[in-house]
Amino acid sequence: MTEGNFVDYVKVFAQSGNGGKGSVHLHREKYITKGGPDGGDGGRGGHVIVRGDKNLWTLVGFKFKKHFKAGHGEHGAKSRSTGADGEDVYMDVPMGTVVRNTESNEILFEITEHGEERILLEGGMGGRGNWHFKTSTNQTPRYAQPGIPGQETQVTLELKVLADVGLVGFPNAGKSTLLSVITSAKPKIADYEFTTLKPNLGIVQYRDFQSFVMADIPGIIEGAAEGKGLGHYFLRHIERNATLLFLIPVDSKDISKEYEILLDELRRYNPELLDKERLIALSKSDMLDEELIAEMHSELEEEFHGVEFMFISSVAQTGITQLKDKLWAMLNS
């Protein structure tokens, strides 16, 4: 998927259908001149329904269609005939889509399963025909109910990527390079900050035809929780990941400090993120010899406070198989 096709935030306008009018009709037939009221009910207006679709990974379809209007209910007719219901309109979204009221920013609901349907706006009820209003004192009512108008609203759709493993790290930490090596994804890779501006998803092929999904989230910078840099734009994607893989290059000025900054940004954005399982991968380890790796290993054991870590190199492809084994074990523990 090209970066331009990854849309994870969009505003749309929705309008449900009006209910049809009830009919005012008096039955007339040969030899029956006063058959009484027989006006039918109006049909229900169409609903606007949000539906989950496992085949969608992005909200790109909403770039081209931002207005959704359901059909109006038909009016009632003679012989107590009820008007047809208005046609429902469906908004198909990827799993992990959050629907908010644009004006109040209130979360209305989330779509997390394939085929899950939630009514965003109900269609207006059809009006009742005049035969409902016949009484002993009013044998021929010449009035009926109008249909109830439909509703309209503007909603914001936010996609939170559903992935098993989320890659967390500073810009230019090598996340895209790792993703390109460990999966079949082809993210943009360059030697400058914020190469990745949208999440990249890749399928990691494991043993016995098994697989899991890894997401390369745009890089964190200090102050991201307050919206600095890409801020909240990417942090929401981390909420859906089962396991967090912290990627820190071994040539970083202070590895443990970099890890603490990343943790702190997640904590300030949403403390629950720290309840997720974590693994630290120290990238670019092909720059070190075995003696230096052993020395760093003993130093970092204390500083990472019991969180497991491993040395890998995406370029030399060392430690990649062990990394996949570890992630698979964490996801299935």
Tell me what pLDDT residue 190 has: 40
SS3 for 228?
Answer: coil
Identify the domain containing residue 205 by its residue range: 165-331
pLDDT confidence tier of residue 148, bands split at 50, 70 and 90: very high
Task: Output 259 or 89, whichever has higher pLDDT.
Answer: 89
Does residue 143 surpass a pLDDT of 60?
yes
C-beta atoms surrounding 317 within 10 Å: 12
Q: Do 128 and 186 sit in the same domain of this protein? A: no
Question: What CATH number should be reported for the domain holding residue 3?
Answer: 2.70.210.12
Q: Do 176 and 73 sit in the same domain of this protein? A: no
Q: Do 60 and 192 sit in the same domain of this protein? A: no
Tell me what pLDDT residue 275 has: 86
Smallest CA-to-CA distance from 99 within 78, 116, 124 is with 116
Tell me what pLDDT residue 90 has: 97
Q: Do 197 and 180 sit in the same domain of this protein? A: yes
Number of domains composing the chain = 2
Residue where one domain finishes, among candidates 102, 125, 159: 159
Q: Do 211 and 295 sit in the same domain of this protein? A: yes
Does residue 57 surpass a pLDDT of 80?
no
Q: Do 134 and 201 sit in the same domain of this protein? A: no
Tell me what pLDDT residue 198 has: 56
Tell me what pLDDT residue 67 has: 96
Question: What CATH number should be reported for the domain holding residue 170?
Answer: 3.40.50.300
What span, in angstroms and rounded, lies between the C-alpha atoms of 315 and 307?
Answer: 25
Q: Do 180 and 278 sit in the same domain of this protein? A: yes
Q: Do 268 and 193 sit in the same domain of this protein? A: yes
Tell me what pLDDT residue 192 has: 41
Q: Do 152 and 171 sit in the same domain of this protein? A: no
Mean pLDDT of 79-107: 93
Does residue 207 surpass a pLDDT of 70?
yes
- pLDDT tens, residue by residue, 266-318: 888 778 888 888 999 998 888 878 888 888 888 888 788 788 988 988 888 88
Does residue 126 surpass a pLDDT of 80?
yes
Q: Which residues are CB-neighbours of 245 under 8 A, at least 6 positions away?
A: 165, 166, 167, 168, 214, 278, 279, 280, 281, 327
Does residue 194 surpass a pLDDT of 60?
no
Q: Do 234 and 296 sit in the same domain of this protein? A: yes
Tell me what pLDDT residue 92 has: 95
Tell me what pLDDT residue 205 has: 80
Q: Do 116 and 206 sit in the same domain of this protein? A: no
Task: Output 158 or 84, whichever has higher pLDDT.
Answer: 84
pLDDT confidence tier of residue 219, bands split at 50, 70 and 90: low
Residue where one domain finishes, among candidates 106, 138, 159: 159
Residue where one domain finishes, among candidates 126, 159, 192: 159
pLDDT confidence tier of residue 115, bands split at 50, 70 and 90: very high
pLDDT confidence tier of residue 2, bands split at 50, 70 and 90: very low
What span, in angstroms and rounded, lies between the C-alpha atoms of 277 and 211?
Answer: 19
- pLDDT tens, residue by residue, 17-51: 999 999 999 888 787 777 789 999 999 999 999 99
What span, in angstroms and rounded, lies between the C-alpha atoms of 22 and 18?
Answer: 12
pLDDT confidence tier of residue 224, bands split at 50, 70 and 90: very low
Does residue 132 surpass a pLDDT of 80?
yes
Percent of the chain with pLDDT over 70: 86
Token pair 């198909």 is at which residue?
Answer: 92
Mean pLDDT of 44-62: 91
Burial track 46-56 (b if 16+ CB lie within 10 A, e otherwise)? bbbbbebbeeb
DSSP label at residue 26: B
User: Which of 75-79, 126-130, 169-173, 320-324 bottoms out in mean pLDDT, i.e. has the lowest?
Assistant: 169-173
Mean pLDDT of 212-225: 64
Q: Do 131 and 209 sit in the same domain of this protein? A: no
Tell me what pLDDT residue 72 has: 97
- The pLDDT mean for the chain works out to 83
pTM above 0.75, yes or no: no
